[in-house]
Chain A
Amino acid sequence: MAKDFISNINNAVPVEEEDKILLEGSHDGIQELDNPLPPWWTYFFAGCVLFGIGYILYYHTFGIGSLQTVEYEKEVAIAQAKKEELLATKYAKINENTVVALADATELSTGKELYLGKCASCHLKDGGGNVGPNLTDENWLHGCDMKSVFKTITYGVPAKGMISWQTQLNPLQIQQIASYILTLKGTTPAKAKAPQGEICAK
């Protein structure tokens, strides 16, 4: 049965009758049959060739399909729109114009945790400063009030090496970190980096 099936779909001459299609001559004893091309294979091949031609026409000749950079821009635009919507709804009240420092202990401890994970490599665990400035002293480069700190974390200061965190942290998390950072003011770090920027009253 299986044998018949295989012979049928391949349009093969049955094994018993293959003498009829045995080609003359042999190569070191190897003989060749002259079975026809399996029809499904021929159509499949033709189909693949048509696909290949169609592919080039679709993407290049007629320019219907989007090539990679266009594809990318679309993907980013969708994500951007989604993000803006999120900022306008869920995080509507947490932006650089409205944000306020949190005082709740659990919020601050979340902030601390995030700070240790994201900020400590440059500002040290106790905020004493290393690659980044000291966060415990009176001197600030980009403002010491809640809104300024929130803004600095969100957008970064690329020219000076402070990265923008808005793709890794949501506004609430930035609010938590900024609130925690403000609690460091006046503490005594193990190794304090020399003051940078102006003395900031508020």
Chain B
Amino acid sequence: MDTQNLETFHYDNTSVRNFSIAVMFWGVIGMLVGLILALQLVFPSLNVASFLSFGRLRPLHTNAVIFAFVGNGTFAGVYYSLQRLCKTRMYSDLLSKINFWGWQLIIISAVFTLPFGYTSGKEYAELEWPIDIAIALVWVSFGANMMLTILHRRVKHLYVSIWFYIATFVAVTLLHLVNSFALPVSMLKSYSVYAGVQDALVQWWYGHNAVAFFLTTSYLGLMYYFVPKAANRPVYSYRLSIVHFWALIFLYIWAGPHHLLYTALPDWAQSLGVAFSIMLIAPSWGGMLNGLLTLRGAWDKVREDPVLKFMVVALTCYGMATFEGPLLSLKNVNAISHYTDWTIAHVHIGALGWNGFLTFGMLYWLFPVLYKTSLYSKKLANYHFWTGTLGIIFYAIPLYWAGFTQSLMWKQFDEEGMLVYQNFLDTVTQIIPMYGLRAFGGLLFFIGTLMMVYNLYKTAKQGTFAPDTEAKAPALMPSHEDGYWHRAIESRPIQLLFLSTIAILIGTVLELVPTFLIKSNVPTISSVKPLTPLELEGRDLYIKEGCNNCHSQMIRPFRSETERYGEYSKAGEFVYDHPHLWGSKRTGPDLAREGVVTGRNYKSNDWHYKHFRDPQEISPGSIMPKYTWLLENKLNASQTKAKINAMRTLGVPYPEGYEKEQAIKDLHQQANEIAATIKGAESDREVIAIIAYLQRLGTDISKKETLEEK
């Protein structure tokens, strides 16, 4: 090394420390909310207030864990490793600050909107449009800061971690922008520009790849840095990292439709989802293998070092989840697992095991480094490891059991061809003990996290934090390429960014564009009409209360479902659904045909009214929250006009001028008609609107049975 050309610079540790503290803070909050939700499923009386009810709280849990816990984890790890891998300080301290404070503000705004019912209704993208814009801006400031840092590096070749960081940045930007496209009605209300089948496809292209790129590629990047660092071992195979990186980002983007198997999504899209999910197993496992095999020759250290223990379990969970995911994408397995707690168990192997444990391992490694000391208590970290591991086991196994049991109960016919469990509730009460065990598992995991917070707090206290670390390196000089062909890409970050973009655009374009352009994908049903103003308001309340978190609106073409719920759902039924509300979980029964008078599940207005007031009174053993506030709150119809206008802009055929006077007249008239059928009900309450919506569900198609292909 030419010592004369050495440049001195300083790594920014403050951002890393700030993000690390934020990880712990939001981790504790996110897990606590999760624990409350788990307990609410066992004790529905814990739904003590509207803003603490399951339907509103569940998005807060998922957003807090994904975007606050894992998001800050990604930033902490990237800010630490990127500077050192590039031998330069983060390009802009200002952008670093904008990234940090902007991200925390976004999370705080989630805390103050989601529980109060301000939600777009799109799973894992519930935040309303102004926050979506903020997310885009802050995320791009992160990406700009990262790319500028990379461009100012003192190292020629980009290490594999950085490839993953770049892919993460590109993909998350694309996913977020496309999926969040919405038409605002007011400051905190918007409608997705996509409807029905198209919205579902965009949503799950997004949802699936948020897992792929927000929770996976980012953390694979961290894994490639922190595992070899902690183990002090060389990475097992450079070639494997190249192959699995490109294969992973190219294949992952296609697999979204596996969330929509047996739905009204066109068959060809479903099949692509299946095929690409299976192809994904090996590229996913490439990451696990490269991580675990890096520990060859260091297994004696794994026995000793809690950091490595966490990382080994994280990699193992990653391997299990990425094997299970493709299996769940096989249609015959999905027919059993979908809509059940099996899915919840699956994602928690990923969230608790892979993301959680890798974060813990990283933080146990980072804190002593940042604070120039040793870990306060290795013993406590070991306790955390075992408590957390037991937590995962107690969380996942009961839920696998519950999911499988419930699904079989849904499907069971007796010898005479009748459903054995005709009452959905019987299949719920059966698995409540499993929900109890799951909550216990969650509690263990949560306690473990608290142990870590204490341990790291003590570690920080006993050490001294240096905001900057001085380092020296020679400036980057132009030189000739040598060795592998891939080295050429590694020394050209812009080209790498460009190629990653191409890799993720291929699957995106080939799946999304045909679904939007080819009419035959959504055969028109002429009897499907726009909702009435009251039903539209009811639908917005359905979204506000998060009903779609527990009730699906998508009957699959299985005899066990058509017998239970009625005719299976058709694509043409959802053409005015901005956004779609198909749901992904049936904690309660499907509602797609709730309003069909001749359907097996039809309930009178009066029944719905009483059921909203006290579900347990009508259906003893039910775990649905009491929605007393729907009976108390007056329906706010001040935005009805704007909503109808917005819907018309999106292509819903309300007559021109309808919103001016007639809409409100119709709203009141329908409300009066419904209220007249309910003893003691007042027509101006929210509950009337939501009942109107429920009674409309699934009815259009039965008015005229003809499918017209246009």
User: Is the CB–CB distance between B229 and A30 below 8 Å?
Assistant: yes
Cβ-closest chain B residue relative to A74: B559
Within 8 A of A (CB), among B667-682: none
A52-B278 in contact given A15-B297, A35-B236 (Cβ < 8 Å): yes
Q: Which residues of A contact B213 (CB under 8 A)?
A: none
Q: Which residues of B contact A27 (CB under 8 A)?
A: 85, 155, 157, 159, 161
A33-B234 in contact given A41-B289, A48-B278, A164-B598 (Cβ < 8 Å): yes
**Of A65-73, A104-112, A176-184, which binds chain B?**
A65-73
User: SS class of chain B's interface: helix, strand, loop or mixed?
Assistant: helix
Q: Which residues of B contact A161 (CB under 8 A)?
A: 597-598, 602
Q: Which residues of B contact A28 (CB under 8 A)?
A: 81, 84-85, 87, 159, 225, 229
Number of interface residues, chain A, beta carbon within 8 A: 59
User: Is the CB–CB distance between B240 and A37 below 8 Å?
Assistant: yes
Q: Which residues of B contact A162 (CB under 8 A)?
A: 598
Mark contacts of A37-63 with chain B using CB atoms, 8 A cut-off: 1 yes-contact digit, 0 otherwise. 110010011001101110110011000
Mark contacts of A156-178 with chain B using CB atoms, 8 A cut-off: 1 yes-contact digit, 0 otherwise. 10100111100111100000000
Nearest CB in chain B: distance from A61 CB, A: 10
A79 within 8 Å of B (CB atoms): yes
Q: Which residues of A contact B607 (CB under 8 A)?
A: 121
Partner of B282, one of A7, A31, A48, A121: A48
User: Is the CB–CB distance between A48 and B234 below 8 Å?
Assistant: no
A82 within 8 Å of B (CB atoms): yes
B305 within 8 Å of A (CB atoms): no
Question: A32 vs B290: C-alpha distance in the bound complex, in angstroms?
Answer: 11
A194 within 8 Å of B (CB atoms): no
Q: Which residues of B contact A56 (CB under 8 A)?
A: 271-272, 275
Within 8 A of A (CB), among B153-185: 155, 157, 159-161
Mark contacts of A62-94 with chain B using CB atoms, 8 A cut-off: 1 yes-contact digit, 0 otherwise. 000001110110011001001100100000000
User: Is the CB–CB distance between A53 and B275 below 8 Å?
Assistant: yes
Partner of A31, one of B84, B235, B413, B416: B235
Partner of A33, one of B236, B289, B418: B236
A23 within 8 Å of B (CB atoms): yes
Cβ-closest chain A residue relative to B564: A167
Mark contacts of B289-314 with chain A using CB atoms, 8 A cut-off: 1 yes-contact digit, 0 otherwise. 10001001100000000000000000
User: Is the CB–CB distance between B598 and A158 below 8 Å?
Assistant: yes
Q: Which residues of A contact B225 (CB under 8 A)?
A: 28, 30
Residue among A49, A83, A170 having the largest count of chain B Cβ atoms under 10 Å: A49
User: Is the CB–CB distance between B279 and A49 below 8 Å?
Assistant: yes
Q: Which residues of A contact B281 (CB under 8 A)?
A: 44, 48
B8 within 8 Å of A (CB atoms): no
Partner of A76, one of B160, B239, B262, B559: B559
Mark contacts of B249-282 with chain A using CB atoms, 8 A cut-off: 1 yes-contact digit, 0 otherwise. 0000000000000100001101110111011111
B563 within 8 Å of A (CB atoms): yes
Nearest CB in chain A: distance from B393 CB, A: 24
Partner of A59, one of B157, B240, B267, B276: B267
Question: A15 vs B417: C-alpha distance in the bound complex, in angstroms?
Answer: 62
User: Is the CB–CB distance between B238 and A32 below 8 Å?
Assistant: yes
User: Is the CB–CB distance between A71 and B557 below 8 Å?
Assistant: yes
Nearest CB in chain A: distance from B370 CB, A: 15
B283 within 8 Å of A (CB atoms): yes
Q: Which residues of B contact A23 (CB under 8 A)?
A: 238, 483
B463 within 8 Å of A (CB atoms): no
Within 8 A of A (CB), among B520-558: 556-558
A45-B282 in contact given A27-B155, A33-B235, A34-B239 (Cβ < 8 Å): yes
B243 within 8 Å of A (CB atoms): yes
A30-B418 in contact given A12-B293, A67-B267, A68-B262 (Cβ < 8 Å): no
Cβ-closest chain A residue relative to B262: A68
A198 within 8 Å of B (CB atoms): no
A45-B239 in contact given A52-B275, A82-B417 (Cβ < 8 Å): no
A103 within 8 Å of B (CB atoms): no
Cβ-closest chain A residue relative to B603: A121
B247 within 8 Å of A (CB atoms): yes
Q: Which residues of A contact B599 (CB under 8 A)?
A: 163
Mark contacts of A1-40 with chain B using CB atoms, 8 A cut-off: 1 yes-contact digit, 0 otherwise. 0010011001010010010001111011111111111100
Q: Which residues of B contact A141 (CB under 8 A)?
A: none
Partner of B559, one of A48, A75, A86: A75
User: Is the CB–CB distance between B293 and A10 below 8 Å?
Assistant: yes
Mark contacts of A108-142 with chain B using CB atoms, 8 A cut-off: 1 yes-contact digit, 0 otherwise. 00000000000001100000000100000000000
Nearest CB in chain A: distance from B340 CB, A: 19
Question: A55 vs B416: C-alpha distance in the bound complex, in angstroms?
Answer: 35
Q: Interface residue tally of chain B, by bracket? A: 35 or more
Nearest CB in chain B: distance from A53 CB, A: 7
Mark contacts of B602-620 with chain A using CB atoms, 8 A cut-off: 1 yes-contact digit, 0 otherwise. 1010010000000000000
A72-B268 in contact given A28-B81, A30-B234, A163-B599 (Cβ < 8 Å): no
User: Is the CB–CB distance between B238 and A33 below 8 Å?
Assistant: yes
B377 within 8 Å of A (CB atoms): no
User: Is the CB–CB distance between B563 and A45 below 8 Å?
Assistant: no
B325 within 8 Å of A (CB atoms): no
B382 within 8 Å of A (CB atoms): no
User: Is the CB–CB distance between A168 and B267 below 8 Å?
Assistant: no
Question: A53 vs B276: C-alpha distance in the bound complex, in angstroms?
Answer: 9
User: Is the CB–CB distance between B243 and A37 below 8 Å?
Assistant: yes
B568 within 8 Å of A (CB atoms): yes
Mark contacts of B460-492 with chain A using CB atoms, 8 A cut-off: 1 yes-contact digit, 0 otherwise. 000000000000000000000001000000000
Nearest CB in chain B: distance from A74 CB, A: 10
Question: A161 vs B605: C-alpha distance in the bound complex, in angstroms?
Answer: 14
User: Is the CB–CB distance between A30 and B159 below 8 Å?
Assistant: yes
Q: Which residues of A contact B598 (CB under 8 A)?
A: 156, 158, 161-164
User: Is the CB–CB distance between A32 and B274 below 8 Å?
Assistant: no
Within 8 A of A (CB), among B81-97: 81, 84-85, 87
A52-B289 in contact given A22-B234, A30-B228, A30-B234 (Cβ < 8 Å): no
Question: A179 vs B293: C-alpha distance in the bound complex, in angstroms?
Answer: 74
| Residues in B lying within 8 Å of A, measured CB to CB | 81, 84-85, 87, 155, 157, 159-161, 225, 228-229, 234-241, 243, 247, 262, 267-268, 270-272, 274-276, 278-283, 285-286, 289, 293, 296-297, 331, 413, 416-419, 422, 483, 556-559, 562-563, 568, 597-600, 602, 604, 607
| Residues in A lying within 8 Å of B, measured CB to CB | 3, 6-7, 10, 12, 15, 18, 22-25, 27-38, 41, 44-45, 48-49, 51-53, 55-56, 59-60, 67-69, 71-72, 75-76, 79, 82-83, 86, 121-122, 131, 156, 158, 161-164, 167-170
Q: Which 6 A-B pairs rank lowest in CB-CB distance, beginning with the nearest?
A: A45-B282, A52-B275, A72-B557, A27-B159, A31-B234, A35-B237
| 12 A-B pairs with C-beta separation under 8 A | A10-B289, A28-B229, A30-B234, A32-B237, A33-B237, A44-B282, A45-B247, A68-B267, A72-B558, A72-B559, A83-B417, A167-B600
